[in-house]
Amino acid sequence: MAIRRLFIANRGEIAVRVVRSAKALGIETVQAHSEADAEMLAVRLADRAVCIGPAAARHSYLNIDAVVGAARDAGCDAVHPGYGFLAENAAFAEAVEAAGMIFVGPSPDTIRTMGDKAAARAAAIAAGVPVVPGSDGRLADVAAAVEAAEAIGYPVMIKAAAGGGGRGIRVADSADDLRRLVPQAQAEAQAAFGDGGFYLERVVRDARHIEVQIVGDGSRAVHCFERECSLQRRRQKVWEEAPAACLDDATRAELCRSAVALAESVGYRGAGTLEYLYEPATGAFFFIEMNTRIQVEHPVTEMVTGVDLIAEMIRVAGGAPLSLRQEDIRLTGHAVEVRINAEDPANNFMPFPGVVGALSIPEGEGLRFDGMIYEGYAIPPFYDSLLGKLIVHGPDRAAAIDRLAAALRDLRVDGVKTTAPLHVALAADPAVRAGDFHTQFLEPWLAGRSLAAE
Amino acid sequence: MPEIRSPLPGTFYRAAAPGEPPFKKEGDAVAVGDVIGLVEVMKSFMEVKADAAGTIARFLVENEQPVTAGAVLAELEG
């Protein structure tokens, strides 16, 4: 059943993106909004808009009854959840289906399985996808640790079974290290948590965050190659690119093949992303988790493959088979996306809500801006700080970064501070330009710099 | 009458977490620099500190209510 009227249960730039793709498919759009979001761009662009509750997200965008009720009352036959909010909430997907509508995404069971780290890891192992090797649960003593480490491979992390947040982690490069460090780790865990239990996990050195975009129709799945998102601050991605410059063709092919195998093994429907850690020194990659939704950084994939991921996820949600064959999906050039957030990079990234003044968005060949702002728009303080994403495409990585630097010079968002000065500095940085970074690169890099606007 | 204003727009919280006691109640003494609440702005939490000493006469904004930048959150006596 093709979708005729779509409810967009999200806000900001992704709501704008979904409204535009749906309209291009000839689908009527009904945009949800909170009381604080009546003036947002997606409300202006959609065919209709419905208020779903007060400013606080838990009373509006996170309120399952309010969202499902509004969608049903508006006569919608499907709900697009965007990202964040209820996008990976299995109970929400169930409620949408129970109300007789289509959830634009995977089945509630898939969301539940892949949203549980242990279940997702088990599914990956069953599909033959490599995961970060570790001991099978707790280890009894030093001898057991040495035996387990032989199978896992050094270096290994010794982690407290009762711990969390990285506390008490020690790294052992050899069996001698392990004999020395395990008793220390046990004693420390006993003191800190009242439980000296420990386990081992392989260290992924200089890990790079690489993720594979897949789309499935419930039986068949294809990949749209990978993205690299290693430049992160406080675990938030700030700069994303496609493809990952650090991979050779054989590794890329094996990585993407593993993602399709896992997606097909769970009968995946819709757009999804499998996240991996990649270790440059060994060329090894390890599955860590799956996001069962569209992602913020999906445009870099669209730029290098020409696939409209939002349109494809809407089509398969309506019951159509995948319109894509794997052999037709080709990589062309290189794309980079940077997140333009309402934050002041010169003041520890302090949020900076305000009213958008004069606005100049660069346009031209190889440029795209997915945004939610217009001149005179008052950015509400109640939600995240993402104003838009500047995406560039070029024949190769160096050309794409040059294009990014030029586009950033032409971008002007008066009235608020944005993260643009961070991206100007990154685009000029020799290590970034050389692709020489990993997930722990950006925070120390930031610590040594002042990022005031020019 | 001295006032304590919100430094940023956002959502005002009188306690560190739901179920926790409020940072300050009406009638409590405050010193310069005392935290009287939090403002959540774009998913970040900022402490609101008193910039004058005195006793809290009353709060003008309830817990979990939206506030604008510069809005008076509390009035102090003496």
| Mean pLDDT taken over chain A | 95
Neighbour tally for A279: CB within 10 Å: 18
Q: Cβ–Cβ of B10/A382 closer than 8 Å?
A: yes
Share of chain A above pLDDT 70, in %: 98
Q: What is the pLDDT of residues A107-134, one digit of tens each?
A: 999 999 999 988 999 999 999 999 999 9
Looking at residue A454, its pLDDT comes to 52
Looking at residue A164, its pLDDT comes to 64
CB A311 within 8 A of CB A224: no
Q: Output A421 or A169, whichever has higher pLDDT.
A: A421
Q: Cβ–Cβ of B42/A36 closer than 8 Å?
A: no
CB of B9 less than 8 A from some CB of A: yes
Neighbour tally for A446: CB within 10 Å: 18
Q: What is the pLDDT of residues B23-65, one digit of tens each?
A: 999 999 999 999 999 999 998 999 999 999 999 999 999 999 9
Catalytic residue among A17, A112, A293, A315: A293
Looking at residue A360, its pLDDT comes to 98
Is the pLDDT reported for residue B15 higher than 90? yes
Looking at residue A72, its pLDDT comes to 98
Q: How does residue A400 score in pLDDT terms, banded at 50, 70 and 90?
A: very high
Looking at residue A449, its pLDDT comes to 87
Active site residue A293: yes
Residue among B17, B40, B69, B59 at smallest CA distance from A56:
B40
CB of B42 less than 8 A from some CB of A: yes
Q: Residues near A328 by Cβ (< 8 Å), separated by ≥ 6?
A: none
Q: What angle do CA B66, B69, B71 make, to 5 degrees?
A: 70
The minimum CA-CA distance between A383 and chain B, rounded to whole Å, is 5
Q: How does residue A320 score in pLDDT terms, banded at 50, 70 and 90?
A: very high
Is the pLDDT reported for residue A371 higher than 70? yes
- Chain A residues whose CB is inside 8 A of the B9 CB are 353, 381
Which residue among A343, A381, A383 sits closest to B9, beta carbon to beta carbon?
A381
CA distance A224 to A359: 33
Neighbour tally for A371: CB within 10 Å: 20
Is the pLDDT reported for residue A202 higher than 90? yes
Q: Cβ–Cβ of B11/A381 closer than 8 Å?
A: yes
- Chain B residues whose CB is inside 8 A of the A56 CB are 11, 64
Q: How does residue A194 score in pLDDT terms, banded at 50, 70 and 90?
A: confident
Q: Cβ–Cβ of A350/B10 closer than 8 Å?
A: no
Is the pLDDT reported for residue A165 higher than 80? no
The minimum CA-CA distance between B11 and chain A, rounded to whole Å, is 7
Looking at residue A141, its pLDDT comes to 92
CA distance A391 to A408: 10
Looking at residue A453, its pLDDT comes to 61
Q: How does residue A223 score in pLDDT terms, banded at 50, 70 and 90?
A: very high
Q: What is the pLDDT of residues A289-318, one digit of tens each?
A: 999 999 999 999 999 999 999 999 999 999
CB of B2 less than 8 A from some CB of A: no
